């Protein structure tokens, strides 16, 4: 994986890229929940593209400095969902990472089709936007609470099994922290990052003919 955390002028590129990636990720959760009938996030102002509604100042700073951070959790109440609540939680969980992958695809498409998006400060921001969105997409799909992947993964399990695993949700953050500080998370994310990057690159190549 590339190094997102070097010094110099790249910090000026990373900050807007990170803010945009996180904001759209969280807004996608709120939008999907609202479409399914749950207005909880909307009522709390989270159905918004205003970064201030989604960014946790300490979590964002920690991500820039320590490579681990967080945003404000989007409140979701599946009791308000229309139809299957398990399917609803699956769709809400998937919405954030899916948005990141779509943004990554659009970023690479722009980088591949026009010098305007490759050169100068705009190009620097779009490059960082691409990498951050790939990273956030795969990271959030890990099947560990409180990450989105835990909700996506649970949908494919028998209800009884999913319920039993949900009893272990309280240990998810601890496991995640251990993976981060032991370096095991990088070992897990590295191959997944490469797969996602290769898939997006192939799709863009097929679309653009490059």
What is the pLDDT averaged over residues 159-163? 89
pLDDT at site 12: 83
Whether the CB-CB separation of 101 and 200 falls below 8 Å is answered with yes
Give the tens place of pLDDT for each residue, 78-95.
999 999 999 999 999 999
Give the tens place of pLDDT for each residue, 27-38.
999 999 999 999
Q: Considering just the CA atoms, what is the radius of gyration of the chain in Å?
A: 18
Joined together, the tokens standing for residue 199 give 């898939």
What is the pLDDT averaged over residues 116-123? 83
Joined together, the tokens standing for residue 163 give 């319920």
Joined together, the tokens standing for residue 122 give 């705009």
Share the mean pLDDT of the chain.
89
**Is 26 labeled as catalytic in the residue annotation?**
yes
pTM for the complete prediction?
0.91
Non-local CB neighbours of 202 within 8 Å, separated by 6+ positions = none
What is the pLDDT averaged over residues 61-77? 79
- Of 71, 87, 80, the residue nearest 147 (C-alpha): 71
Q: Is the pLDDT of residue 2 over 70?
A: no
- Of 129, 121, 15, 131, the residue nearest 65 (C-alpha): 15
By residue count, the chain amounts to 210
User: Of these residues, 26, 40, 103, 140, which one is catalytic?
Assistant: 26
Give the tens place of pLDDT for each residue, 166-205.
887 888 889 988 998 898 988 999 999 999 999 999 999 9
Which string of b and e fits 146-168 if b means at least 16 CB within 10 Å?
ebbbbbbbbbeeeeeebeebeee
């Amino acid at each position: 994986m590339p190094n997102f955390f070097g010094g110099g002028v790249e910090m000026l590129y990373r900050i807007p890229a990170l803010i945009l990636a996180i904001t759209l990720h969280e807004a996608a959760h709120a939008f999907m929940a609202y479409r399914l009938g749950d207005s909880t996030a909307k009522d709390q102002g989270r159905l918004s593209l205003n970064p201030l509604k989604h960014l946790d100042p300490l979590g964002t700073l920690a991500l820039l400095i320590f490579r681990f951070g967080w945003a404000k959790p989007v409140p979701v109440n599946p009791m308000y969902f229309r139809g299957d609540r398990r399917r609803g939680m699956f769709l809400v969980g998937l919405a954030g990472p899916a948005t990141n992958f779509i943004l990554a695809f659009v970023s690479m498409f722009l980088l591949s089709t026009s010098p305007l998006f490759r050169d100068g400060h705009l190009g620097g921001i779009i490059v960082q936007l691409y990498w951050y969105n790939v990273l956030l997409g795969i990271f959030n799909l890990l099947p560990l609470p409180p990450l989105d992947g835990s909700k996506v993964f649970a949908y494919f399990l028998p209800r009884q099994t999913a319920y039993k695993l949900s009893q272990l949700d309280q240990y998810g953050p601890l496991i995640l922290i251990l993976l981060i500080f032991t370096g095991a998370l990088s070992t897990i994310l590295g191959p997944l990052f490469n797969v996602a990057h290769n898939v997006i690159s192939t799709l863009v190549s097929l679309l653009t003919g490059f």
